Every structure is written in structure tokens, then in C-alpha cells.
Amino acid sequence: MLFKNVCGVRSMYEILRAAGSCVGCGRSWQRRNHRLAAARPMKAVLNTAVFFVLAGIAASAGAQSTYPSKPIRLVVAFAPGGGTDVAARALAHQLSGLLGQQVVIENRPGAGGTIGTEFGARAAPDGYTLLVGSSAAFAINPHLNPKLPYDPVRDFAPVGAFAKLIFVLDVHPSVPARSVKDLIAIARPHPRRLNFGSSGQGATAHLATEMFMSRAGVKMTHVPYKGAGPAMTALIAGEVDVLFDSMLTTLPQARAGRVRPLAVTTLQRSALMPQLPTIDESGVKGYELVNWFGIFAPAGTPRAAVDRLNAAINAALRQPELNARLSSHGVEPFLGTPDDLASLVRSELAKYGKIIRDADIKSE
């Protein structure tokens, strides 16, 4: 109060400054005044830095609160009309309404999905380019092709799973097996007498059979085909005895009596074919294998955008319209959080890696 009364100042800095010029205040105050004057440039720099940091945070928060503000591109790494494309389009239609912006499908097929997946990994991490990923691209291909141009964990920000394609263990009607236990009883005493088809070397159906043989203690001979369609045709014709195929492909053939379904590959029975037991409940404990689909963003995408998208995906999957469209294609909804999808990728990488190593499977 002394300096305020005598020198007429209003701040501590002004008090110290005034002290330097007051009669009788002494040299010590002058020295402090010099140090404060020298500190003024540093104080200005710090104030400027704080301003820009706070401004950046405010701008980021404002941008995230309005996300999305323009259409979103959803990349499908396969050609139009396939199972992945159909499921993605059904989801995109619902997301467009929930997000208030168009979600546009962009097909980038080639190299078994590698071209589109790499494109998704290299896109700008702004939430406006997303990728439909699958168990094949994220959990199988990394083990079959060590030179993949993307890393399924490092290069992506998981957004959320949205669908799972259930497989069915089918046999030709000439095989005298009406259950999984019957099939094991036939195959175990006669290694490699039965043969099984697949949609190709290292395909999901191939790995599903390898996993079944390993856990059931049986051996059968692999006959790969160029696609799921030719493999089912071969089963119908009796060229192969056993085939793991999708629910969508199995349903019409089973209803026509051309194939005999024995069990599903999930841990719970499917609502699409509730009369079929699971392989797990049929005696091969712990058996589970599905082809799942999830939405991924490039690594570095803001978490606020990821959470906004995840909430919209889960809301879409709760709508009866989308459920009906997915079910009509043999696909079941698959809800979860971004962290759930990240955990799924890691666990599936470990599971398929073991199957591929144990069976010594090489890419074609």
C-alpha cells in the first residue's frame, strides 16, 4: 500500500518498477526492475504460445462437434455385387440418414482386396474416408503375404464391427453322416479318404476346415476351387464330400435337398437356421469361426470422429430394416465398440496364424 499511495501504481509489476525510481528505495529494487524488464520478452512469447494452443483446441473441438460436415467415402476392396459390397451398401444407406451426410460406396477391387485396403490405410485421417475391412484382409492375408503394403494394426483406427457371415458345415447327401459326430466317426478311421472343397488355397473356408480337422482329430484331402460358387457346384455334383460354406449359399441348396447341412460355425445357434446345432455343442469344443466385417479409418483419425461413427453404426444395426436386409443375405448384425474391434483383430490374427502355421499353408 505504501507504493500505491506514494507512487500511484496499480499492479505489482508497476510497484516494482516505481520502486526503482522512488527516492530512498535502494539499489536492490533497481536490480529487480532490470530483471523484470529482461523477462518481458519471454513472457510475451509464452502468452502468444498459450493463445495459439488454446485457439487450436477450440478450433478442433468446433470441427469435431460439427462432424461430419460433408459426404463420407466408404471404400469396399471388392467388386460390386459381392457379399462385402451388399452388406456395405445396406449399412451405408442407414448411416446416411443417421449422420446427416451421404455415405458413398467406392469400390476398389484387385489383388484379393489388397489394393482397396492399402488405399484405405493411406487416406487422410480426417474421418471422411473409411474402409470396410474383413477377417480375410485383416487376419488371414498378413500371414499368407508378408509383403502386404499395410499393417492391419498399425495403419488403422478401428471404428466398429457391423456384420458376421456364418459358415455351415455341409456334406454331400451320399455321405452317410447326419451329424458332426457321424462325420468324425467316418473320417477318423480312414485318413484322407474324404475330400473337402474350398474357394481357394488359404481362403476362409479352407482354414475353417483345417481348424475343424485339427480339433476333431481327422484328416481329409483338400480340393481348392477358384471361388465359392465353383466349390458349391462341386459339392452338389459329388466331386467333393465336405464343404464349409456361407449361410447364404447353403440355405437354398439345403432346402432343395442338394446338400446336407450338419452344423454352424458360431458358438450360438443362428436365427437363420435355428434347427442346426453348433460345431461346439456337437462335441468339437471351442470351435468358432466366422467371416466378420468392420469399419476402419486411417490411423490418426480423431477419436471424436471414431466415436461418432461407432454410435451411428450401432444405432443403424438396431433398426429392423437393416437387420432384415442383412439377414436376407445370410449375414447377422455384429455390434461393438472400437476397442472391441481392435481386440477382435488381435485375437483373429493369433488364431489364423496358428491355423496357417500348423497346416503349413502357403499362398498360391
Does residue 316 surpass a pLDDT of 80? yes
Beta bridge partners of 161: 294
Query: DSSP letter at 278?
Result: B
Least confident of 23-27, 133-137, 312-316, 320-324: 23-27
| Radius of gyration of the chain, Cα coordinates, nearest whole angstrom | 31
Cβ atoms within 10 A of the Cβ of 259, count? 22
**Of 61-65, 182-186, 205-209, 246-250, minimum mean pLDDT range:** 61-65
pLDDT, the chain, mean: 86
Residue 79: phi and psi, rounded to 5, are: -70, 155
Q: Are 361 and 113 in contact (CB under 8 A)?
A: no
Do 189 and 219 touch, CB atoms closer than 8 A?
A: no
Pairing of strands 72-76, 103-107: parallel
Q: pLDDT above 70 covers what percent of the chain?
A: 82
Phi and psi at 107, nearest 5°, equal -85, 125
Kindly write down the DSSP assignment for every residue of 203-252, as one continuous string: -HHHHHHHHHHHHHT---EEEE-SSHHHHHHHHHHTS-SEEEEEHHHHHH
User: Would you say the C-alpha torsion 353, 347, 307, 311 has a positive or negative sign?
Assistant: positive
What local confidence, expressed as pLDDT, does residue 112 receive?
82
Cα(149)–Cα(79) distance, integer angstroms? 20
Angstrom CA distances, 353 to 337, 346, 360, stand at 24, 11, 10
Give the residue-averaged pLDDT of 207-227.
96
Length of the chain, please?
A: 364
Taking 80 as the threshold, does the pLDDT of residue 37 lie above it?
no
CB 89 within 8 A of CB 107: no
Q: Residue range 244-266: average pLDDT?
A: 95
CA dist., res. 359 & res. 285, Å (int): 20
Residue 55 scores a pLDDT above 90: no
Percentage of the residues of the chain whose pLDDT score is greater than 90: 72
pLDDT-derived band at 41, boundaries 50, 70, 90: low
Query: Alpha-carbon distance 290 to 247, whole Å?
Result: 11
pLDDT given at position 177: 97
- The confidence band for 5, taking pLDDT boundaries of 50, 70 and 90, is very low
The band of 47, judged by pLDDT with boundaries at 50, 70 and 90, is low
How far apart are the two ends of the chain, measured CA to CA in Å? 88
Q: How far apart are CA 226 and CA 241, in angstroms?
A: 17
Mean pLDDT within 303-311: 98
pLDDT at 26: 44
